[in-house]
Amino acid sequence: MPELNTPTAPEAATASLPRFDEFGLAPPILQALTEQGYQHPTPIQAQAIPVVLQGRDVMGAAQTGTGKTAGFSLPIIQQLLPHANTSASPARHPVRALILTPTRELADQVAENVKAYSRHTPLRSTVVFGGMDMAPQTAVLRAGVEILIATPGRLLDHVQQKTLNLSQTEIFVMDEADRMLDMGFLPDLQRIINLLPKQRQNLMFSATFSPEIKKLAASFLKNPQLIEVARSNATAERVTQIIYKVEEEAKRDAVVHLLKQREIRQVIVFSNTKIGASRLARELERAGVKASAIHGDKTQGERMAALEAFKAGGIDVLVATDVAARGLDIAELPCVINYDLPYNAEDYVHRIGRTGRAGASGDALSLYCDKDARLLADIEKLIKQKLVPVELEDFHPRSGRGERADRGERSDRADRQSDRQGDRYADRSERRTERGPRAASAPIPRKEKVDPWFLKPYEPAAPAVPTEAKPADARNAKTPPKRAALLGGRSKG
C-alpha cells in the first residue's frame, strides 16, 4: 500500500488545506459553516470564493458533488450582507441574486444550502420550480426575497403573472448550464437574461464545455475568470470500471446478482428509460431488494421521498434516469451500476462521477449486451480507455422466459421495444411538465459532439485527499461492503 494511505496522511493533507476564515467571510456565515460540519473549503470553493467576492464574472467547470454550490452561494451571501435588513416591507427585500438550475431537485438542494448558509443573517431566500402550486410561491415572492433559486420555466411563469420583479438583480448564477441546453432551455434563458439589469455579476457553472456552452458564455459573461477543478472525465481515474457481458434477458437477474455478490448498499442503478427504471425497481423489490425509481414521471413528492429514503438508508437502490439523477445531492457512492449503457458517452462520465469522488475510490459496474458495441466504443473514445467486457462470475440467470411470464411479465420484450422507441429521451416529458405549454415548440434535446477541450488528458488540480491507484486487474475481485459517504456536513456518514 502506498505511503500516502497511512493513517497519518489525512492529517498531513488537511494541514495544508485553506480555511474558510481566510476569505474574510462574515462571522454569521462562518458560524453556519461550522454548524454544517464543513472544516475546509473544497478545491472549487477555495478557487471560486475569492474571485466571486471580487465581483468578477466566473465560468466554472465543475459538477455536482464538488461543493460548487457553496462556492458561489457563500460569496453571494457575503456580498448581499450590506443589504440585509429585518424590515417587513417587501420593497426592502428585492431579488438581488438569481440562481437558475435545470431541475427541480437541484433547485431544491441549492435552496436548502443557501438557507443553511444564511441562517444567521436576515437575508431571505426561496425556491420556485414547476410541478408545485404557484400560490404559496407567489406569497413568498410578494413578501420579498433577496436570493431566488428557480428553474427557468416556473421563473418565467412568475414573471408573466407579475409576481416577480428582477430589475434589481445584482448577481446571476446559471448552474449546470450544459444540462440547461440539453433540456432545451436556451430560449427561456435568453428571455430571462433580457429581464436582468445590464450591470450585474454573472456566474456560470457547467460540467462540460461544448461549443454551444462557450457561445452562451460569451454572450453574457464579461471577462470571466475560468475556474476549473476536476474535469468530469477525470473521475474515471479513481473509479474501477467493470463491464459485464450479459444477455439482454438476463440483465435484471444480473443486477440482483451483483448486489448480492458484492453486498452492495446505496447504489444508483442507471436506466436509459423511465419505463425501464420503474420496471427494474419493481423487479428488484420482488427480489427482496429495497429499491425505488426516480424519474421525470414521478411527482415531485415521490422523487423527494425516494431521495430522502435513499439518503437515510431506508432504500438501498435508487434506479434513476440520467436527467433525474443529474443534480441529485448524492456524492461519494461506493458504487454505481449502469443497467443500460447510456446513449451518450458523456452521460457515462456523469454517471460514474457519482463514485470515486473527493479522493475516494469507487466501482462503476456496467451491463453490456452485444447490441451495445457502438455505445461502448463511444465511451472508450471519450474516456480514452479500453474497457473489455468480462463474464459475470457465478452467474446463472433463470433462463426460461416462462418463469417471467409466471411473475406477470408476459410482455417483457414488447416493453423493451417500447422503451427504445417511445422513450429514447427518457426525461423529455419531465422537461414538458417543468416548462408548461411553452415546451410544446421547444427543440428536442440533442447532444452535441464532444469538444476537444473536454478530451484533453486530465491533470489533477489538487486532490483533497491522496488516493491509491486501483490495480487494473481488480475487475473480478470481490469487494467488501462499503457504505456511501453522502456529502452533507453533519449528516456525513
Determine contact, residues 353/325, Cβ cutoff 8 Å.
no
- Closest distance to ligand AMP from the beta carbon of 27 (Å): 18
Closer CB to ligand AMP, 107 or 164, in the complex: 107
Choice between 329 and 434, CB closer to ligand AMP: 329
Tell me: does residue 70 bind ligand AMP (CB under 6 A): yes
Q: How far is the CB of 45 from ligand AMP (least distance, A)?
A: 6
257 binds ligand AMP (CB under 6 A): no
Q: Do the strands 267-270 and 317-320 form a parallel or antiparallel pair, or are they unpaired?
A: parallel
Alpha carbon 458 to chain centroid distance? 20
Cα 444 to Cα 72: distance, rounded to the nearest angstrom: 31
Q: Nearest distance from residue 42's CB to ligand AMP, in Å?
A: 5
Given the complex with ligand AMP, which of 177 and 289 has the nearer CB atom? 177
Q: Could you tell me if residue 176 is left (phi over 0), alpha (psi between -120 and 50 degrees) or otherwise beta?
A: left
List the Cα angle 162/142/191 in 5-degree steps: 35
41 vs 296 by CB, closer to ligand AMP? 41
CB neighbourhood size of 74 (10 A): 28
381-419 burial code (b ≥16 CB/10 A, e <16):
ebbeeebebeebeeeebeeeeeebeeeebeebeeebeeb
Query: Which residue from 63, 14, 67, 69 is spatially nearest to 42, judged by alpha carbons?
Result: 67
Binding to ligand AMP (CB under 6 A) within 430-489 occurs at 487-489
Instruction: Tell me the residue number closest to ligand AMP, measured at CB.
Output: 69
- Grid cell in block for residue 493: 456518514
Instruction: Name which of 235, 288, 221, 239 is nearest 259 in CA terms.
Output: 288
Single out the segment in contact with ligand AMP by CB under 6 A; choices: 3-11, 60-68, 89-97, 157-165: 60-68
The reply on whether position 270 binds ligand AMP by CB under 6 A is no
Per DSSP, the three-state class of 338 is strand
Asked if 18 is part of the footprint of ligand AMP (rule: CB under 6 A), the reply reads no
Which of 28, 43, 67, 102 touches ligand AMP (CB under 6 A)? 67
Q: Are 310 and 265 in contact, with CB atoms under 8 Å apart?
A: no
Is position 66 an interface residue for ligand AMP (rule: CB under 6 A)?
yes
> Which member of 28, 41, 43, 224 binds ligand AMP (CB under 6 A)?
41
Nearer to ligand AMP, 14 or 411 (CB): 14
**CA 438 from chain center: how many Å?**
25
Angle ∠(98,168,124) on CA atoms, nearest 5: 55
How big is the chain, counted in residues? Answer: 493
- Report, in Å, the least distance between residue 457 CB and ligand AMP: 24
Does 329 contact ligand AMP by CB under 6 A? Answer: yes
SS3 364: strand
Position 339 contacts ligand AMP (CB under 6 A): no
The stretch near ligand AMP (CB under 6 A) out of 37-45, 145-153, 202-210, 380-388 is 37-45
* CB-count burial class (<10 Å; 0-12, 13-18, 19+) for 88: exposed
- State the minimum distance, in angstroms, from the CB of residue 77 to ligand AMP: 14
Nearest residue (CB) to ligand AMP, 85 versus 491:
491
* Residue placing its CB nearer to ligand AMP in the complex, 127 or 387: 127
| Number of other residues whose CB lies within 10 A of the CB of residue 457 | 8
Q: Which three cell numbers stand for residue 482?
A: 462499503
Is residue 64 near ligand AMP by the rule CB under 6 A? yes
Which of 28, 43, 60, 65 lies at the binding interface for ligand AMP (CB under 6 A)?
A: 65
Task: Single out the residue of 25, 49, 69, 200 in contact with ligand AMP (rule: CB under 6 A).
Answer: 69
What is the C-alpha to C-alpha distance for residues 493 and 489, in angstroms, rounded to an integer? Answer: 9
Residue linked to cell 435588513? 85
Smaller CB separation from ligand AMP, 102 or 184: 102
Q: How far apart are CA 232 and CA 357, in angstroms?
A: 11
- Cβ distance 271 to 322 under 8 Å? no
Q: What share of the chain is helix, strand, coil (3-state, %, to 5)?
A: 45, 15, 40
Any contact of residue 331 with ligand AMP (CB under 6 A)? yes
Identify the residue among 46, 58, 59, 68 touching ligand AMP (CB under 6 A).
68
For ligand AMP, which residue of 23, 25, 28, 42 counts as binding (CB under 6 A)?
42
Minimum separation from the CB atom of position 72 to ligand AMP (A): 9
Candidate segments 39-47, 369-377, 430-438, 474-482, binder of ligand AMP by CB under 6 A: 39-47
Among 23, 38, 205, 310, binds ligand AMP (CB under 6 A): 38
Q: What are the residues binding ligand AMP (CB under 6 A)?
A: 38, 41-42, 45, 64-70, 329, 331, 487-489
